[in-house]
Amino acid sequence: MPENVTKSADADWWRGAVIYQIYPRSYQDSNGDGIGDLSGIIHRLPYVASLGVDAIWLSPFFRSPMLDFGYDVSDYRDVDPMFGTLGDFDALITRAHQLGLKVMIDLVLSHTSSQHPWFAESRQSRDNPKANWYVWANPKPDGTPPNNWLSIFGGSAWEWDGERMQYYLHNFLIDQPDLNFHEPAVQKELLDVARFWLARGVDGFRLDTVNFYVHDKQLRDNPALRPEEINDKTAPAVNPYNYQDHLYDKTQPENLDFLRKLRSVMDEFPAISSVGEVGESQRGTEVQAEYTSGGDKLHMCYDFAFLSNVFPSGVYVNSTIAGFDAVSPDGWACWAYSNHDVMRHMSRWNLSDAQYRLYAMLILALRGSVCLYQGEELGLAEAYVAFEDLQDPYGKRFWPKFRGRDGCRTPMPWSRGSANGGFTDGKPWLPLAMEHLTHTVSVEERDPDSILHFYRRAIAFRKAHPALVKGSYETVEAEEKILSFIRANDGSRIFCAFNLSEAERQVALPEGDWALLPDMPYNVTSTGGSVTLPPYQAVFATAQDA
């Protein structure tokens, strides 16, 4: 086994882990070209470790024409030169492991770049060795696409190819043709890709669009949704993609067989984990549960429950957590408020500083693992990116009602006194947000009351209490503005209560003898069997009779 493969004694490390997402283009540039790279990430790993997180998730760094910034892969087994080399990647793995950090990488298996050699061969004819590696279909008699499937990036999910005289499927950009998972050779090759990176020492995978792998072989039309069923959890409201019930273009039952094969490959290596991204507006919780149940598929999944515009009231948060537990008591979820695909939650939910801190404590108290997105620990709001600076093809397609994803992808602000916030000496690929200069790492490091230090304390608090990491979840009270629950593990019980309102609220303690945990600073009053919570405050108590 390679030297840099982790030999962790805890194969269950991922359960309740805090995972820090790094978007390489925007984290740290080391060579002045304005684009973040692997060497820059290595330089910043001590900072990441200082947060107390368990792992990092690296967004794609593979060879790519970068039309979707790495999510259009042209070579699964190499690093794009703009990010460095395979040697740099190996050095990153080694340094991360020295610092006690696991490394998860973003595998994009549902589609490739149209510049991938596989696609170049596939489109040449209908009888070459890779002819069936992508989803090809004949037109209808009138020349129109085979069915009504839509692309998330707008328009039909089918593109005509004059070379083969057929349409090919692309759930995303025209330049991202979908692989055909009904072809055994495709599955075998992708499983070998996973083995390649596991052998280099990665500790697991974040699996992009994991429910998009398999399509309906019969290419049946998706039915329309009733107006009252339409929501914008997966795509922005301006996108007609939301009008369909996506019964046939994704989330097919055959996907489970591939996930079992992938789990079998991961189980060949010690202490590996996986987290799947489920893009599903109608059945997200059910798919999360199905993909993580039984111990033979994915380790954990996340959907867009907390990544959407739906404000996380106490009722909504509780129904999401309790709903998942009800359908999959043996499954495991991963929760996130922000990532590289959505508006930062400070802006999306229009949070005050006090609310932002409270919701940070809330996600770190929920049952499940947690993904934090770079800059989240600084309290960054969404950056405004002018149209002339826009890079994201998604934003260009639906501007101005949807401005794309660039506002959450602007460079990480490290130092207020340095050019471009310490991100690069050159011209950054996206402009640094001026408003982020008051939230740089250097500024917040000097302020003991900063959001950065709050996140460090909150993560440490979670890790200090196994009940919060791996415990069960029992609802005590769930209202729009109040949420309380009990986390329990190995005889330890912790009562967690959150006042989500701007008014003082009294919360009753459960029956029994409870003592407030001193780890986090409180501004609460405890009287007998109740606690008075000021606005946007949380309290944690431990059962003395456990």
Distances in whole angstroms, Cα of residue 20 to Cα of each of 105, 122, 371, 482? 11, 37, 6, 28
Tokens matching residue 483: 């949420």
Known catalytic residue at 268: yes
Output phi, psi for 404, to 5 deg: 85, -165
Q: What is the DSSP letter of 131?
A: T
Choice among 163, 229, 257, 268 that is catalytic: 268
Beta strands in 15-170 (DSSP E): 18-22, 55-58, 62-63, 75-79, 102-107, 136-137, 158-161, 166-169
In angstroms, rounded to a whole number, what is the distance separating the alpha carbons of residues 191 and 228? 41
From the CA atom positions of the chain, what is the Rg in Å?
23
CB 208 within 8 A of CB 71: yes
> Which residues have C-beta within 8 Å of that of residue 149, sequence separation ≥ 6?
156, 157, 158, 169, 171, 221, 222, 244, 248, 249
CB 410 within 8 A of CB 389: no
Give buried/exposed letters for 15-49 (b at 16+ CB in 10 A, else e). bbbbbbbbbbbbbbbbeeebbbbbbbbbebbeebb
Known catalytic residue at 161: no
Q: How many CB atoms lie within 10 A of CB 223?
A: 12
Tokens matching residue 167: 């349409």
What's the number of CA atoms in the CB half-sphere (13 Å) around residue 363?
27
In angstroms, rounded to a whole number, what is the distance separating the alpha carbons of residues 371 and 459? 12
331: nearest Cα among 309, 361, 300, 286? 300
Give buried/exposed letters for 59-77 (b at 16+ CB in 10 A, else e). bbbbbbbbbbbbbbbbebe
In angstroms, rounded to a whole number, what is the distance separating the alpha carbons of residues 488 and 317? 18
Distances in whole angstroms, Cα of residue 384 to Cα of each of 388, 392, 396, 432, 532? 12, 13, 14, 10, 39
> Which residues have C-beta within 8 Å of that of residue 373, sequence separation ≥ 6?
21, 23, 336, 337, 338, 339, 340, 344, 408
Tokens matching residue 307: 């990544």
Distances in whole angstroms, Cα of residue 298 to Cα of each of 205, 207, 229, 270, 277? 10, 9, 29, 15, 11
What's the number of CA atoms in the CB half-sphere (13 Å) around residue 5?
14
Choice among 68, 88, 208, 216 that is catalytic: 208
What's the number of CA atoms in the CB half-sphere (13 Å) around residue 308?
24
In angstroms, rounded to a whole number, what is the distance separating the alpha carbons of residues 94 and 6? 9
Residues annotated as catalytic are 208, 268
